[in-house]
Amino acid sequence: MFPRILPVFFVIYAAKCTLRTDQQFWTELAENELAEALQVKWNLGVAKNVILFVGDGMGPNTVTATRIYKGGESHRLVYEKFPHVGLLKTYSANKMVPDSSCSATALFCGVKANQETIGVDASVKHKDCSASLRPEARLKSLASIALKAGKSAGFVTTMRVTHATPGPIYAHSADRKWECEDKMPASAAACKDIARQLVEDWPGKDLQVILGGGRQVLVSNSTGTKEDPLDTWSCIRKDGKDLIKEYQKDKHDRGLRYSYVSNNKQLKGFDVDQTDYLLGIFANGHLKYEHERNKGPEGMPSISDMVEAAIKVLRKNKNGYFLMVEGGNVDMAHHRGWAKRAVDESAALEGAVRLAAAHTDPRDTLLVVTSDHTHTLSINGYPYRGTDIFGIAQTSKYDNVNYTTLSYGTGGPGSMKYSVKTEHNRTVAAREDPGVNTDSFDYQQIAAITLDENSHGGGDVVVYARGPHAHLFHNVHEQHYVYHAISYAAKMGAYSGTSAIYTNISLLAIAAWVAICIMK
């Protein structure tokens, strides 16, 4: 026992000795924040460009853990320096705790929907194909109204391009699992699968950027490799269609300049000047976690690599663009109880936000960073400041067993860290010691309740904003408010003819207020 505790003791001792705790340090932190706050001014311009980042499952505790992971408790992530912040209520039309499809529908389409439905309103129940075909139930996404406004539009995801979060950008489906025909029941014969909607229907076929995974739902009878296995959780297309070839044929027949890329080398080498439409499919299923992906020429790109390529293509439109970016592996890791993987993926998303912030002008580009839902991750115990966020928090005085700083409310079988034994003719469950590998990417944190996998959380998520009309994110909002705030900021959709009036009224109100203050 002593050899195990000794390294932890030295880490704690070193942390306590090197971290500043003097009054001047705290005063400087506060004064710097105050000076920053006093410089904040509303940007009442029009958002020519909009980039909406969604950290799937990136709840407030994930953000806090990411901050500590990247730089310690006093560190600030790039989007935490954005001048405007609010909260979003994530409940769906029929559930207190949402899934990603209904929450993405709220974010991108402006109304709350039922669990596991995509791009349709709450009149469509789960699996009700016929209801999803009614035109009045089908919702317009931020991408579709951006295209109508003469802007370019697209999305980047580390998931399958047909998955729950990107789906509402272009599709209308009564079931998020209808990504390809293989998992659609006979009762849904009249409905088109999500992959076909992406390639064959509007607005999917007119999106200028589509980057992510999902080859097996686009190309029939796809085969896996050791490097890129088939995703057994998803469907595998079997109807003989090759939607990637159909995408290419459509662009060729319409005389459009396009590029199709499938690995790092091709993504870095495509001719931007000769590409107005970019399709990149880099995996059979979801893209690899950042820490394990092949970074070589034949490997998969990072989320930052994809965002950089997307911006290069989209910014060619003088009218601007809308781009959605999803860091989906945050959620995938949380579902499996891999807290370090989830936090590392959250850190990768922050890198993509940093890149976008550096490559765009805050005077004409609205950046919004948020999440679709939380997870049940908690930060607990009383660990010393400066110690490893993935390390041991304390030893419980009730069972004399260590516990980690991070844990989950619910978890899969890997989080069942109890051993059952018999004492005095009764069965008891004893909590296992976390061991010494809690900092591993493969370590699964303990959970209170065992399920088939970790469930989502139902708490509020944070929304951070910078750029034109970023101040519209300012308090506790409904999740579907994001769609309306972005539409207003960019003068799109229902707000295309009224934004100027509202802006003028706002300016007049401010001018009147200033005049009254001067008169006083």
Model confidence pLDDT, tens digit, residues 148-162: 999 999 999 999 999
How far is it, in rounded angstroms, from Cα 226 to Cα 431? 36
Residue 305 annotated as binding?
no
Domains of the chain are 43-375+456-504 (3.40.720.10), 377-454 (no CATH)
pLDDT of residue 15: 52
What strand order describes the sheet that includes 277-281? 258-261, 277-281, 209-213, 152-160, 321-327, 49-55, 365-370, 461-466, 84-89, 476-478
The distance from CA 263 to its chain's CA centroid, rounded to whole angstroms, is 22
Q: Is the pLDDT of residue 412 over 60?
A: yes
How far is it, in rounded angstroms, from Cα 490 to Cα 468? 8
Whether 326 and 291 have beta carbons less than 8 Å apart is answered as no
Tens of pLDDT, residue by residue over 351-362, are 999 999 999 999
Q: Is the pLDDT of residue 194 over 60?
A: yes
The distance from CA 322 to its chain's CA centroid, rounded to whole angstroms, is 16
86-100, 143-157, 276-290, 500-514: the lowest-pLDDT one: 500-514
Query: What contacts 237, CB < 8 A, 6 or more positions away?
Result: 180, 181, 182, 195, 216, 217, 218, 219, 220, 221, 222, 243
How far is it, in rounded angstroms, from Cα 2 to Cα 225? 45
Reported confidence tier of residue 8, pLDDT bands at 50, 70, 90:
very low
Looking at every residue in the chain, the average pLDDT score rounds to: 93
Residue 469 annotated as binding?
no
pLDDT of residue 518: 53
Reported confidence tier of residue 519, pLDDT bands at 50, 70, 90:
low
Task: Give the residue-averaged pLDDT of 475-491.
Answer: 98
The distance from CA 472 to its chain's CA centroid, rounded to whole angstroms, is 21
pLDDT of residue 435: 87
Please report where in the chains the tokens 């269609």 appear, as a residue: 241
Reported confidence tier of residue 2, pLDDT bands at 50, 70, 90:
very low
Residue 56 annotated as binding?
yes
* Residue 1 or 509, more confident: 509
C-alpha distances in angstroms, 214 versus 166, 210, 331?
12, 11, 17
Catalytic site residue from 100, 346, 487, 499 = 100
Instruction: Read off the DSSP letter of residue 146.
Output: H
Whether 173 is catalytic: no
Residue 172 annotated as binding?
no
pLDDT of residue 1: 39
Residue 220, number of CB atoms within 10 A of its CB:
17
Reported confidence tier of residue 4, pLDDT bands at 50, 70, 90:
very low
C-alpha distances in angstroms, 372 versus 34, 90, 192, 377?
30, 7, 25, 15
81 φψ region: left (φ > 0), alpha (ψ -120 to 50), beta (else): alpha
Strands 49-55 and 365-370: parallel
Reported confidence tier of residue 298, pLDDT bands at 50, 70, 90:
very high
Report the Cα–Cα distance between both ends of the chain, in Å, rounded: 72
Strands 152-160 and 209-213: parallel
Whether 419 and 432 have beta carbons less than 8 Å apart is answered as yes
Residue 165 annotated as binding?
yes
Residue 456 annotated as binding?
yes
